[in-house]
Amino acid sequence: MTDDEYMRAALSLARRGLGETAPNPTVGCVIVNEGRVAGRGRTGPGGRPHAETEALAMAGDRATGATAYVSLEPCAHHGRTPPCADALAAAGIARVVIACRDPDPRVDGAGIARLQAAGIAVVEGVRAAEAMALNAGFFARIGQGRPMVTLKLATSLDGRIATKGGDSQWITGEASRRTAHALRGSHDAVMIGVGTALADDPELTCRIDAYRDAPMTRVIVDSHLRLPLSGRLARGAAEHPLWILHRSGADPARIEAFGTIGARLIEVAPAEIGVDPAAALRALGEAGLTRVLVEGGGTLAASLLRAGLVDDIAWFTAPLVIGGDGVAAVAGFGVTALAEAIRFAHNATRASGGDRLTTYRRLD
């Protein structure tokens, strides 16, 4: 197998950790000795152990003289464990192939320098674009201090999420709902506005067996702490973390009640409607999130879009028409000139049962 093929294997190992390794990136490592795979590893839940530690432990003596394929530059810093660059050198690894550099200022080239100083041959940039896309969330947290945002929409053909009377269950079919759960599973957290929480009483967990072991963090934008304690979100707070972004001046009795159920309250600067979206995402980045899936409603979607904070869109469209008086997926946006519209690049379109799933990416 070629370097490119082994790196592809390291990247698919890494991909399995998406949504479970925050605040760290998800990394895959494959150790190959004389054409045979001697060790495999990926970043553990919550970011530790690092991928290289796992792969080296599996390889044992067979790491001597081997090549290590790592989807992100090995770390150079003493965190809770010694630097992976040193561990690779100590194990006698002869060559390291890296997909892309680690932008963490504690690493950022220092891992490569450490490997080279130990006499290890280093190849950089194999499947780099794929590795950077995979860890776009970690790159956003390090580079912009915020998680990456995926906006999920599930609408009728004419972009409605409910009828004018509020009937919204179910627009999309079973296949799309399953895919939407998988999408949750590959994010660190799901975020909605309190209006959607009140309307739908959702759980916001990933309910596909064996798809995800880690609990799912649920973030609710709830300026005045209106989320009912009797709802599913609050009731599940012991099992799946519940974070509430609110404005200052919230009712102290409500603050205490949410504290009692173990919810994490985060005060965020206000905006004209709700909270300031950039400040909200900064707070989530500081709390260690790297990938956030926003599932509505229309007000939250509009505020993030308007602020230019949506990186990816996953848009499920069901083959039905609700009509112009139905509830719009993006509320109160209303640009006058097309030049002010927020544009995205089309990524891919596929069938999803009887629906359609189209993904879009931020235009750079």
- Contact between 48 and ligand AOF per CB under 6 A: yes
Ligand-binding site membership of 156 (annotated): no
Chosen from Zn ion, ligand AOF, none, partner binding at 104 (C-beta under 5 to 8 Å by type):
ligand AOF
What does 217 bind: Zn ion, ligand AOF, none (CB cut-off 5 to 8 Å by kind)?
A: none
CB nearer to ligand AOF: pick between 51 and 234: 51
Helix H or strand E segment including 189: strand 189-193
Candidate list 5, 20, 34, 52, residue with the active-site label: 52
Residue 79 binds ligand AOF (CB under 6 A): yes
Binding site for Zn ion (CB under 5 A): 50, 75, 84
Stretch that binds ligand AOF, among 99-107, 258-266, 271-279, 308-316 (CB under 6 A): 99-107
239 is in an annotated binding site: no
84 vs 180 by CB, closer to Zn ion: 84
DSSP state of 127: T
Helices 277-286, 136-144: axis angle to 10 degrees equals: 110
CB of 20 to Zn ion, least distance (A): 17
Q: Confirm or reject binding of residue 50 to ligand AOF (CB under 6 A).
A: yes
Residue 28 touches which member of ligand AOF, Zn ion, none, C-beta under 5-8 Å by kind: none
Distance between CA atoms of 280 and 312, rounded to whole angstroms?
Answer: 18
Residue among 245, 287, 241, 289 at smallest CA distance from 267: 245
Q: Is 24 in the site for ligand AOF (CB under 6 A)?
A: yes
Residue 47 binds ligand AOF (CB under 6 A): yes
When binding is defined by CB under 6 A, the residue of 20, 52, 311, 355 that contacts ligand AOF is: 52
**From 37, 75, 220, 309, residue interacting with ligand AOF (rule: CB under 6 A):** 75
Q: Which is nearer to ligand AOF, 88 or 227 (CB)?
A: 88
Of 50 and 152, the one with the shorter C-beta distance to ligand AOF is 50
- Our finding on whether 39 is near ligand AOF (CB under 6 A) is no
Q: Is 52 considered catalytic here?
A: yes
Q: Does 43 bind ligand AOF (CB under 6 A)?
A: yes
**353 phi and psi angles, rounded to 5 deg:** 60, -130
Complete DSSP assignment for 295-339: ---HHHHHHHHHTT---EEEEEE-S----TTSEESS-S---SSGG
The answer to whether the beta carbons of residues 341 and 335 sit under 8 Å apart is: yes
Of 212, 267, 281, 201, the C-alpha closest to 234 is 201
Q: Which residues 100-119 are close enough to bind ligand AOF by CB under 6 A?
A: 102, 104, 107
3-state secondary structure of 5: helix
Return the closest-CA partner of residue 124 out of 201, 47, 72.
72
C-beta separation of 149 from 312 below 8 A:
yes
Nearest to 39 by CA among 58, 52, 53: 58
Q: Is 343 annotated as a binding residue?
A: no
Nearest by Cα to 132 from 296, 364, 336: 364
SS3 104: coil
Binding-site entries for NADP(+): 154, 170, 196, 200, 223, 297-303
Catalytic residues: 52
Q: Which residues in this chain contact ligand AOF in the complex, by CB under 6 A?
A: 24-25, 27, 43, 47-48, 50-52, 72, 74-75, 79-80, 84, 102, 104, 107
